[in-house]
């Protein structure tokens, strides 16, 4: 078995909605860059592939807890200087950025980090975000994905506008070979971009492109462009089905194999009882009304009048839902397989929104992670600790050594770039 891939998904005080309420949380430090630098160093100590930031463009209900604090690309510039090996990945929205702006920032960060940058290409989803960018509402699903595809093509063309040998730095001659720096003259439905980019070709050629396609259009976009894929998988069968489908699409697109990393929430204890106590501690801090609001956003309808201890009412099929389809499909699967009450469903979604959750000892969690990889459900995982920093400390100090002992995870970094960590080749130009 080849080494599994592991990323740390950093989100506030952790992925559990009540994590910030815990007496040991770092809620006072969310605007302190040293907090994020420490998390990156901790993940680097565990030899993880990368740290990852999601992003959003609306504040949400600020009373419910922290969601977005510092802007992630800005944070990565500081974190690059505080670390040496670990990859640094940020979400960039094709709905609100322009290709030139995104290409310039990401290429700059690839230089700053010495070739450790990755970008997660997304389409934004909520009308509240659109209204912060001069739009009355979010464009339709098909339009968002058409823009995303043109966005990706244009960014890649801008990165290729500087050839590898373009920089001469000849003090008695030319700084660059103008024949190896070319405009792209892009004229598309959504963008007009002349180029070339103002930033010379970066260490990785292209920062690594991540995507999280769930809908049919999203999966096609991921298959055509992504070099690694984030996924939502509630259980091993759903993970296997997603992996098989994505890998078939990637093969049909004539592209090399990509790494698929479903989200993973872990509660680690020296005994299963201790792990379940950690889970219960956070669940008991969860305010009911905040949970109702989260679920309402996830399923696109108001649940404030639903009875807490009655079964969840029937929901529309996935095809009829216009929001984030991957998460919605996961919620439908939880309801179908577990038949939860509203209270039980809200607790299940409190940490990670329906991603796979493993609760137990380091050995038990390593067993299950290894089973997912060996049985075709994952190439690794996007770790979503329910609390930070304690959740990732538990994982790095207890689970990582167990994975290393089994020979399924690296003991040392073998390369310098994020492409090296993921086993990806460098695109030449």
pLDDT given for residue 52 in this prediction? 98
Quickly tell me which residue has 């990785």 as its tokens: 204
- pLDDT tens string 211-224: 987 888 889 889 99
Say if residue 343's pLDDT is above 90.
no
Confidence check: pLDDT of 135 > 70: yes
Mean pLDDT over the full length of the chain: 93
When pLDDT is averaged across residues 53-60 and rounded to a whole number, the result is 92
H or E element that contains 237: helix 236-252
Q: Residue 293 pLDDT more than 90?
A: no
Distance CA 209, CA 424 (A): 11
Percentage of the chain modeled with pLDDT above 70: 99
**What span, in angstroms and rounded, lies between the C-alpha atoms of 176 and 381?**
41
Q: What pLDDT shows up at residue 324?
A: 76
* Angle subtended at Cα 263 by Cα 259 and Cα 266, rounded to the nearest 5 degrees: 125
The pLDDT confidence band at residue 288, using thresholds 50, 70 and 90, is confident
d(CA 97, CA 133): 10
Pairing state between β 186-187 and 192-193:
antiparallel
The pairing of beta strand 192-193 with beta strand 208-211: unpaired
In this model, does residue 240 exceed pLDDT 80?
Answer: yes
Q: Which residues pair with 209 in a beta bridge?
A: 119
Q: What mean pLDDT comes out for the span 309-318?
A: 91
Contact call for residues 102 and 148 (beta carbons, < 8 A): no
Lookup: tokens for 165: 């040998």
Q: Model confidence at 349, in pLDDT bands (50, 70, 90)?
A: confident
* pLDDT of 301 over the 60 cut: yes
What is the structure's pLDDT at 428? 86
- pLDDT for res 216: 85
Q: Where are the domains of the chain?
A: 5-265+355-422, 287-349
pLDDT of residue 189 exceeding 90, the answer is: yes
Confidence of residue 169 (pLDDT cuts 50, 70, 90): very high
Nearest CA among 219, 233, 229, 295 for reference residue 264: 233
Q: What's the rounded mean pLDDT across residues 155-184?
A: 97
The CATH class that applies to domain 5-265+355-422 reads: alpha beta
Position 266 pLDDT exceeds 80: yes
Q: Which stretches of 302-399 are DSSP H helices?
A: 325-338, 342-349, 362-374, 390-394
pLDDT at 2: 65
Which pLDDT tens digit goes with each residue over 57-98? 999 889 888 989 999 999 999 999 999 999 999 999 999 999
Predicted confidence (pLDDT) at residue 325 exceeds the cutoff of 80: no
pLDDT tops 90 at residue 200? yes
Measure the CA–CA gap between 158 and 193, rounded to whole angstroms. Answer: 9
- pLDDT tens track for 379-429: 999 999 999 999 999 999 999 999 999 999 999 999 999 999 999 999 988
**Is the pLDDT reported for residue 353 higher than 80?**
no
Above 90 in pLDDT, residue 340?
no
Return all residues near 49 (Cβ < 8 A) that are at least 6 apart: 5, 6, 7, 86, 87, 380, 418, 421, 422
CA-wise closest residue to 46 among 272, 271, 266, 358: 266
pLDDT at residue 378, as a whole number: 97
Q: What is the pLDDT of residue 414?
A: 95
Query: Would the pLDDT of 321 be above 80?
Result: yes
Beta-strand pair 5-9/50-53: parallel
Pairing verdict, β 380-383 and 259-268: parallel
Evaluate if residue 376 carries a pLDDT over 90. yes
pLDDT at residue 194 in the model:
98
């Amino acid at each position: 078995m080849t080494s599994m891939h592991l990323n740390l998904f950093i989100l506030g005080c952790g992925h559990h909605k009540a994590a910030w309420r815990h007496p040991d949380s770092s809620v006072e430090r969310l605007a302190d860059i040293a907090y994020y630098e420490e998390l990156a160093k901790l993940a680097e100590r565990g030899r993880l592939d990368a740290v990852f930031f999601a992003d959003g463009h609306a504040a949400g209900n600020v009373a419910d807890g922290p969601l977005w604090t510092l802007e992630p690309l800005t944070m990565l510039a500081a974190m690059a200087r505080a670390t040496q090996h670990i990859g640094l990945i940020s979400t960039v929205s094709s709905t609100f950025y322009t290709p030139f702006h995104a290409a310039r920032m990401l290429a700059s960060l690839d230089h700053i980090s010495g070739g450790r940058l990755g970008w997660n290409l997304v389409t934004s989803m909520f009308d509240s975000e659109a209204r912060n960018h001069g739009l009355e509402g979010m464009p339709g699903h098909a339009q968002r994905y058409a823009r995303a595809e043109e966005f990706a093509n244009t960014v890649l063309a801008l990165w290729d506008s500087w050839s590898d040998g373009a920089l001469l730095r000849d003090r008695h001659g030319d700084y660059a070979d103008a024949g190896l720096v070319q405009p792209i003259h892009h004229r598309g439905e959504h963008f007009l971009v002349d180029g070339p980019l103002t930033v010379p070709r970066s260490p990785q050629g292209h920062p690594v492109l991540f995507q999280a396609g769930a809908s049919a259009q999203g999966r096609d976009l991921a298959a055509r462009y992504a070099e690694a894929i984030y996924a939502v998988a509630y259980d091993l069968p759903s993970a296997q089905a997603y992996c098989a489908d994505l890998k078939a699409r990637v093969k049909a697109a004539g592209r090399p194999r990509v790494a698929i990393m479903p989200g993973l929430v872990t509660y680690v204890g020296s005994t299963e009882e201790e792990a379940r106590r950690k889970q219960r501690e956070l669940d008991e801090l969860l305010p009911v009304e905040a949970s109702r609001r989260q679920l309402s956003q996830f399923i696109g309808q108001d649940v404030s009048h639903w009875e807490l201890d009655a079964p969840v009412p029937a929901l529309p099929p996935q095809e009829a839902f216009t929001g984030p389809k991957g998460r919605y499909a996961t919620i439908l699967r939880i309801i179908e397989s577990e038949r939860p009450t509203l209270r039980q469903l809200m607790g299940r979604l409190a940490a990670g929104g329906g991603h796979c959750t493993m609760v137990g000892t380091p050995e038990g969690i390593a067993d299950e992670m290894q089973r997912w990889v060996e049985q075709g459900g994952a190439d690794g995982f996007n770790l979503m600790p329910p609390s930070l920093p304690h959740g990732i400390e538990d994982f790095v100090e207890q689970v990582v050594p167990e994975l290393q002992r089994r020979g399924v995870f690296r003991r040392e970094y073998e390369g310098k770039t994020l492409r090296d960590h993921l086993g990806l080749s460098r695109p030449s130009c």
